[in-house]
Chains A and B, each alone.
Chain A
């Protein structure tokens, strides 16, 4: 018996590993070990070093992403095409790392001032980001699932970070239960797909559909289950019910993280699956995406209108924004649309990430003074903190899609992709989207109104203290929002590079 093991070991050939391609993941993995260890050896007064270490790790991981991006050789495929570094994954990796860095900036003071433990916070955050970075390259059901759990499990714990706060417990619990449920549904779907294709490689799934001469019931069922699983992750209606409670209870920087990075990771996986694995099954998922998108933006918007807590409002706003990201996927099965649909999803996520993180930075800054999540606590912000009020206005207007701020570019590319399909369904969804973008201003405008047009409550006009890290986060996000809006070429340039290997018949 021992012999056979040794024999197997000698027969085993180590797969070709491209260390340059894996460098971002390796740096992140090393960094998170360092962070965890550093926590053991640092005394309370020097815990701030950990947050700096986390930031440096993320910036360090950016370096190989940049060199990979500048490398014209383009596609690097490893492990029989199960892990691929292409332009799409490079752009998304960069987005996750930068978004992660901004979240670190948002967290720095916040975590220091809370009386909870710091080391684990940073460790969990880095783990989750590592999962996202892996997700961008995963081209296999197993690696997608591993990446997904890798990014979700730390996020469950982060949501429940304030362990003596009942709301935070509720946030973590709801997120965990529904997240695990979604994972189970998805895993079931994946097992059905594996049964149908006898492979977990995404491109093989697609081939198996054509090989068996069309769509089998097994395929269809598997696809639907997998999509439902991801619909939970991206909080698409009607699978969204966890989001508002989780967002409200989680620490604010984590809410920002969940609403931007975690959501984007879900979209990355969804897009990869739809375009790489199931392009031939578009009859199954196109109508599904249509309904999901229309419901998500409409329901998210309508409920957001009624919110009085700013974080809950932003939660519903982010649900509704998710509907806009889904929009072009409703027609993405058509071969002439899929490229522009992919571009639209990427551009929308880039712009949305910058804007939404910026808005959360403002929320965190304002709540440092008001200690309240009620929208009415923003009354008269313009009169005592005009800078923050203007920044918030820029971010809100961008979310509402008003040019010349970033958000309109995302909406525009989404509409463009829908209309390029030339189908009645595409036009109908575009009109639903247009109406929704107007409805959305109803609540974005409410916040603006509170800031600009209402008097200050209690006449308390003390200044809002903004720590340096928060200012840096605000600066990064506002510059990105403005640049994307005035020079949309910057955003669409990255979107145009985003070819997913294996998609579009390539």
Chain B
């Protein structure tokens, strides 16, 4: 495969820079919180700067080609190497992970959740960033696995230490689910390695040789990977960790989970499972599509039943990731491109919603929908931002969410050759119904929370509670949120900005399905 190897130091720097920040943080005394915040902020700004430089150097005319490729020996004995690269599929997610981390750091400058300890909090956040960015650039299965697992522990601690009341249960559940998935995934990787002649773990090599495997072998290997990725997405019926983890996680954790961590699973499907095992992907596609559609409806119904705002947003993730998986399961470049777009859009929008939930909780000390109301009156700016995000989330045309959902549904009308059209058209209809439900639960949420009069217990200007309980959006929040809001709008109006990067890369990935 053709590759570009210029500037190949850039990805390593971008990925490991946060780790340098962690090392710096380790030597800063715990009491010096100002310095800790500065180090974290500067590290994440520097990381984003490297990311911007990467964007700048990226050859957009060649988005389907691996760029900045670097290959170094790492574990020669098991034929695994430090092999990294970036193409149009990785680029948006890679960059998104950097930006989200920066925004979360900015938000945390003013919002360290109890029990405090910014030193540990920021260290974990930066560690997470290295794992996330690394997963998106790894071109070697073992390297991918290491980065994929690297995010587990920091997130476990983030939920378990800084989370809500039920945090210990939620963090352990999150960990065990994901670890179970990745253990089977590792076995699938190894089986793939041996079945392709025990030559290499490099993804390009496996893409070349995986297709030659017998179909039933492919199906079993795919099953192992499926469990690993589907838990992470999460797909129905592996989703039950998600509402707990999201609800209990601190705001920052929820944002990172929703915006990036869930994408590791869908990215795995697109980058590894489907291109390496095309026959198995075809065999599995109807089932994946079916589970995706069940996820859409189940997630939506779950949302309608929630009484907690954060838990509602968490369930909406199940539904949204269902659309993404539906797009992927069509195995057409149209569907997969839509899914990739949907991943980024969901990252921006749901990340934003979790930020908002965090800020509402901070002000009202509750997220129970029945107790909230009249946010628009008390804090008009916060209320309108919430309205904007809800609209984006339900897929209003002109905002980013639309371009993830609508093409994904449309793509099911015409799945790849060899897939049963009738089945996918049924999926399409059901998924379309899902969008109606999405509108229902989001608008209902917005109506109950933002409209009407504030409830008596929160009435007034906040006297009797905290003096500053009901201040509107503050400057840290503005700094953290504005980029997301702008991105949601820009990608909604000019979706081609991203489609033109994604499409060539998706074409390359789906080469095996031509004809």
Residues of A within 8 A of B (CB): 343, 382, 386, 393, 397, 400, 402-404, 408, 412-413, 415-416, 419-420, 422, 427, 430-431, 434-435, 437-438, 441-442, 445, 448-449, 452-453, 487-489, 492-493, 495-496
- Contact check, A427 vs B75: say whether CB atoms are below 8 A apart: no
How far is it, in angstroms, between the C-alpha of A393 and the C-alpha of B71 when the chains are bound? 31
Q: Which residues of A contact B413 (CB under 8 A)?
A: none
Q: Which residues of A contact B167 (CB under 8 A)?
A: 453
How far is it, in angstroms, between the C-alpha of A420 and the C-alpha of B76 when the chains are bound? 17
Q: Which residues of B contact A430 (CB under 8 A)?
A: 187, 190
Q: Mark B162-190, 1 if CB is under 8 A from A, else 0.
A: 00000110011001100110011011001
**B160 lies within 8 A of chain A by Cβ:** yes
Q: Which residues of B contact A442 (CB under 8 A)?
A: 172, 176
- Contact check, A492 vs B75: say whether CB atoms are below 8 A apart: yes
- Contact check, A452 vs B157: say whether CB atoms are below 8 A apart: yes
Q: Which residues of B contact A492 (CB under 8 A)?
A: 75, 77-78
- Contact check, A449 vs B172: say whether CB atoms are below 8 A apart: yes
Q: Which residues of B contact A437 (CB under 8 A)?
A: 179, 183
- Contact check, B187 vs A489: say whether CB atoms are below 8 A apart: no
Given contacts A402-B153, A412-B186, A419-B190, contact A441 B77 (CB under 8 A): no
| Contact among A393, A402, A453, A496 for B168, CB-based, below 8 A | A453
Q: Mark B289-302, 1 if CB is under 8 A from A, else 0.
A: 00000000000000
B142 and chain A: residue at smallest CB distance: A412
Q: Please list the 9 inter-chain residue pairs (A to B) with the smallest Cβ-Cβ separation, ordered nearest first.
A: A434-B183, A403-B146, A492-B77, A438-B180, A419-B190, A403-B149, A488-B75, A438-B179, A453-B160
B73 and chain A: residue at smallest CB distance: A489
How far is it, in angstroms, between the C-alpha of A453 and the C-alpha of B180 when the chains are bound? 23
> How close is A431's CB to chain B, nearest CB, in angstroms?
6
**B194 lies within 8 A of chain A by Cβ:** yes
A421 and chain B: residue at smallest CB distance: B194
> How close is A367's CB to chain B, nearest CB, in angstroms?
24
**B212 lies within 8 A of chain A by Cβ:** no
- Contact check, A453 vs B161: say whether CB atoms are below 8 A apart: yes
Q: Which residues of A contact B153 (CB under 8 A)?
A: 393, 397, 402
Classify the interface of chain B: helix, strand, loop or mixed. Answer: helix
A496 and chain B: residue at smallest CB distance: B77
- Contact check, A435 vs B160: say whether CB atoms are below 8 A apart: no
- Contact check, B160 vs A415: say whether CB atoms are below 8 A apart: no
Interface residues in B189-207 (C-beta closer than 8 Å to A) = 190-191, 193-194, 198
| Contact among A397, A431, A449, A493 for B77, CB-based, below 8 A | A493
**B444 lies within 8 A of chain A by Cβ:** no
| Contact among A402, A420, A427, A445 for B149, CB-based, below 8 A | A402
- Contact check, B186 vs A434: say whether CB atoms are below 8 A apart: yes
**B287 lies within 8 A of chain A by Cβ:** no
**B152 lies within 8 A of chain A by Cβ:** yes
- Contact check, A441 vs B176: say whether CB atoms are below 8 A apart: yes
- Contact check, B186 vs A413: say whether CB atoms are below 8 A apart: no
- Contact check, B191 vs A427: say whether CB atoms are below 8 A apart: yes
* Interface size, chain B (Cβ < 8 Å): 36
- Contact check, A489 vs B76: say whether CB atoms are below 8 A apart: yes
How far is it, in angstroms, between the C-alpha of A431 and the C-alpha of B223 when the chains are bound? 13
Q: Which residues of B contact A402 (CB under 8 A)?
A: 149, 152-153, 179
- Contact check, B77 vs A420: say whether CB atoms are below 8 A apart: no
- Contact check, B183 vs A420: say whether CB atoms are below 8 A apart: no
25 A–B pairs (Cβ distance < 8 Å), ordered by A: A343-B77, A382-B120, A382-B161, A397-B153, A400-B179, A402-B179, A403-B145, A403-B146, A408-B146, A415-B187, A419-B191, A419-B193, A427-B187, A427-B191, A434-B187, A435-B180, A441-B175, A442-B172, A445-B175, A448-B157, A449-B171, A453-B167, A453-B171, A489-B73, A489-B77
How far is it, in angstroms, between the C-alpha of A419 and the C-alpha of B175 when the chains are bound? 26
A445 and chain B: residue at smallest CB distance: B172
Q: Which residues of A contact B75 (CB under 8 A)?
A: 488-489, 492
- Contact check, B186 vs A415: say whether CB atoms are below 8 A apart: yes
How far is it, in angstroms, between the C-alpha of A403 and the C-alpha of B143 when the chains are bound? 10
- Contact check, A416 vs B160: say whether CB atoms are below 8 A apart: no
A440 and chain B: residue at smallest CB distance: B179
**B443 lies within 8 A of chain A by Cβ:** no
> How close is A452's CB to chain B, nearest CB, in angstroms?
5
How far is it, in angstroms, between the C-alpha of A448 and the C-alpha of B190 when the chains are bound? 30
A488 and chain B: residue at smallest CB distance: B75
Q: Which residues of B contact A488 (CB under 8 A)?
A: 74-75, 78
How far is it, in angstroms, between the C-alpha of A21 and the C-alpha of B252 when the chains are bound? 60
A452 and chain B: residue at smallest CB distance: B161
> How close is A484's CB to chain B, nearest CB, in angstroms?
11
**B109 lies within 8 A of chain A by Cβ:** no
- Contact check, B168 vs A449: say whether CB atoms are below 8 A apart: yes
Most buried by B among A420, A435, A438, A496: A438
> How close is A487's CB to chain B, nearest CB, in angstroms?
8
How far is it, in angstroms, between the C-alpha of A481 and the C-alpha of B120 when the chains are bound? 22
B192 and chain A: residue at smallest CB distance: A419
How far is it, in angstroms, between the C-alpha of A448 and the C-alpha of B168 when the chains are bound? 11
How far is it, in angstroms, between the C-alpha of A407 and the C-alpha of B298 when the chains are bound? 39
A416 and chain B: residue at smallest CB distance: B190
- Contact check, A416 vs B176: say whether CB atoms are below 8 A apart: no
Q: Which residues of B contact A415 (CB under 8 A)?
A: 186-187, 190
- Contact check, B77 vs A412: say whether CB atoms are below 8 A apart: no
> How close is A371's CB to chain B, nearest CB, in angstroms?
26
- Contact check, B150 vs A403: say whether CB atoms are below 8 A apart: yes
> How close is B76's CB to chain A, nearest CB, in angstroms?
6
How far is it, in angstroms, between the C-alpha of A380 and the C-alpha of B315 when the chains are bound? 33
- Contact check, B78 vs A404: say whether CB atoms are below 8 A apart: no
Given contacts A403-B145, A419-B187, A420-B194, contact A441 B179 (CB under 8 A): yes
Q: Which residues of A contact B157 (CB under 8 A)?
A: 448, 452
Q: Mark B121-159, 1 if CB is under 8 A from A, else 0.
A: 000000000000000000000100110011011001100
How far is it, in angstroms, between the C-alpha of A496 and the C-alpha of B176 when the chains are bound? 33
A434 and chain B: residue at smallest CB distance: B183
How far is it, in angstroms, between the C-alpha of A445 and the C-alpha of B168 when the chains are bound? 10
Q: Which residues of A contact B152 (CB under 8 A)?
A: 402
Most buried by B among A413, A419, A435, A489: A419
How far is it, in angstroms, between the C-alpha of A377 and the C-alpha of B130 when the chains are bound? 34
How far is it, in angstroms, between the C-alpha of A393 and the C-alpha of B124 when the chains are bound? 13
Q: Which residues of B contact A449 (CB under 8 A)?
A: 160, 168, 171-172
> How close is B486's CB to chain A, nearest CB, in angstroms?
36
| Contact among A422, A438, A452 for B183, CB-based, below 8 A | A438
- Contact check, A420 vs B198: say whether CB atoms are below 8 A apart: yes
How far is it, in angstroms, between the C-alpha of A270 and the C-alpha of B156 when the chains are bound? 39
Interface residues in B53-101 (C-beta closer than 8 Å to A) = 73-78
How far is it, in angstroms, between the C-alpha of A427 and the C-alpha of B142 when the chains are bound? 19
How far is it, in angstroms, between the C-alpha of A445 and the C-alpha of B75 when the chains are bound? 29
Q: Which residues of A contact B180 (CB under 8 A)?
A: 435, 438
A409 and chain B: residue at smallest CB distance: B75
Q: Which residues of B contact A393 (CB under 8 A)?
A: 153
A389 and chain B: residue at smallest CB distance: B120
| Contact among B150, B156, B171 for A404, CB-based, below 8 A | B150
How far is it, in angstroms, between the C-alpha of A431 and the C-alpha of B145 when the chains are bound? 17
> How close is A443's CB to chain B, nearest CB, in angstroms?
11
| Contact among A408, A434, A445, A487 for B184, CB-based, below 8 A | A434
Given contacts A393-B153, A441-B175, A445-B176, 12 further A-B contacts (CB under 8 A): A382-B161, A404-B146, A412-B186, A419-B193, A430-B190, A434-B186, A434-B187, A449-B171, A449-B172, A488-B75, A489-B74, A492-B75
> How close is A297's CB to chain B, nearest CB, in angstroms?
13
> How close is A283's CB to chain B, nearest CB, in angstroms?
23
> How close is B20's CB to chain A, nearest CB, in angstroms?
15
Interface residues in B390-443 (C-beta closer than 8 Å to A) = none
A393 and chain B: residue at smallest CB distance: B153
Q: Which residues of B contact A386 (CB under 8 A)?
A: 30, 120
How far is it, in angstroms, between the C-alpha of A188 and the C-alpha of B152 when the chains are bound? 50
Q: Which residues of B contact A489 (CB under 8 A)?
A: 73-77
How far is it, in angstroms, between the C-alpha of A380 and the C-alpha of B142 when the chains are bound? 35
Q: Mark B309-339, 1 if CB is under 8 A from A, else 0.
A: 0000000000000000000000000000000
How far is it, in angstroms, between the C-alpha of A492 and the C-alpha of B77 when the chains are bound? 7
> How close is B222's CB to chain A, nearest CB, in angstroms?
15
